Amino acid sequence: MKLASHNEGADGRLLVVSRDLTQAVPAEAATTLQAALDDWEAVAPALDAQYRALNNGTAAGAAPLDPASLAAVLPRAYQFLDASAFLEHNFILAHAWGIDRRTPADPPLIYQGLSDRFYPPHGDVPFRSTDDGIDFEAEFGVIVDRVPLGTAPAEALGHVRLVLLLNDWSLRAFGPEEMKGGFGFLQAKPPSALSGIAVTPDELGAAWADGRVHLPVTVTRGDTRFGMPHGREMTYGFDRLIAHAAATRDLCAGTVIGSGTVSNADAAAVGSACIAERRGLDTIAGVEPVPFLGFGERVRIEAFDAAGKSVFGLLDHRIARR
């Protein structure tokens, strides 16, 4: 099924959305997505019944879906954990910057990010200065139910309730110093944006396999395609990421886990999902690096299925001066 949150209050109003993203109906079994995640086993059958009714045209109260009325699918969360699960991204930056390459034998890198709010999938995103190195990062993500401490990778995917798309906004001017400090990101990571739509794994069909989203993500900067890297090259699947995060603690229901920047071995051909990686490629090629984002620029991120249909809806943002 496909779920969304209407922009009402701090936590939104949970909606059930049709497969083609054209119709929606208020969920009857839970008023917010967090409430549904807290009691998923009890709530999910009723949500699924509404979803099936919506798709066959018999859902009471159905109305056209207005994408502009949507909040982030989970407007705020108890926890946001963001990984760097595509090692090709590390390989490119390691080559460009002369740093050590990581290997698949290394544990995944995950930081704990800001989660008291997520930007909606559309509209202006405020920043204080272009000197901060404003960048986007197109990622896939999952939302889990409660994951017990010590959950193994083989069990972890059973806790994935929803899959989504996200933009992990980054301020590159702060990243190097914060990473050298070894205490995690703070100023380098403003709020992220979540897609308006999240889908259950079964909705993806063959595109959900091995704990990975086997779909390309299309990134457009202004009117120009910036990249279309594919999710299948994720080095660490979400099973590994969930198990790593839960090694020493429970994960609460509603924890959002991001994949990190989607990146492919042939990035020079398919493009990138963030500016930092493109700048790394420019450095390797010996050309002037592309600039970071300026005020007024527009960034769009979307993932399409094999039939060319949008899966999570469009993330469409404009860089605004605070």
Q: Per-domain residue ranges for the chain?
A: 2-68, 74-321
Residue whose structure tokens are 């709010």: 117
Q: What is the mean pLDDT of residues 258-269?
A: 97
What is the structure's pLDDT at 97?
A: 87
Q: How confident is the model at residue 85 (pLDDT cuts 50, 70, 90)?
A: very high
8 Å CB contact between 31 and 14? yes
Query: Which CATH number does the domain 74-321 belong to among 3.40.225.10, 3.40.50.300, 3.90.850.10, 3.30.420.40?
Result: 3.90.850.10
Residues 221 and 275: their CA atoms lie apart, in Å, by 10
What is the structure's pLDDT at 99?
A: 85
Higher-pLDDT residue of 145, 98: 145
8 Å CB contact between 166 and 139? yes
What are the CA-CA distances from residue 32 to residues 70, 80, 300 (Å)? 13, 18, 26
8 Å CB contact between 171 and 132? yes
Residue whose structure tokens are 């990146």: 263
What is the structure's pLDDT at 317?
A: 98
Transcribe 59-90 into DSSP letters: -TT-EE--GGGB--SSSS-S-EEEE---HHHH
Q: What is the mean pLDDT of residues 94-119?
A: 94
pLDDT digits (tens, 9 = 90+) for 117-154: 999 999 999 999 999 999 999 999 999 999 999 999 99
Residues 31 and 28: their CA atoms lie apart, in Å, by 7
Q: Which two tokens stand for residue 196?
A: 């308006």
163: pLDDT strictly greater than 90? yes
What is the structure's pLDDT at 117?
A: 97
184: pLDDT strictly greater than 90? no
Q: How confident is the model at residue 282 (pLDDT cuts 50, 70, 90)?
A: very high
What is the structure's pLDDT at 148?
A: 98
- The rounded percent of the chain whose pLDDT value lies above 90 is 95
What is the structure's pLDDT at 57?
A: 96
What is the structure's pLDDT at 253?
A: 98
182: pLDDT strictly greater than 90? no
Q: How confident is the model at residue 116 (pLDDT cuts 50, 70, 90)?
A: very high
301: pLDDT strictly greater than 90? yes
Mean pLDDT, rounded, of the chain: 97
What are the CA-CA distances from residue 257 to residues 132, 205, 242 (Å)? 25, 20, 8
Region for residue 21 given its phi and psi (left: phi exceeds 0; alpha: psi -120 to 50; beta: otherwise): left
Residues in the chain: 322
- The rounded percent of the chain whose pLDDT value lies above 70 is 100
Burial class (CB in 10 A: 0-12, 13-18, 19+), 172: middle
**3-class DSSP state of 159:** helix
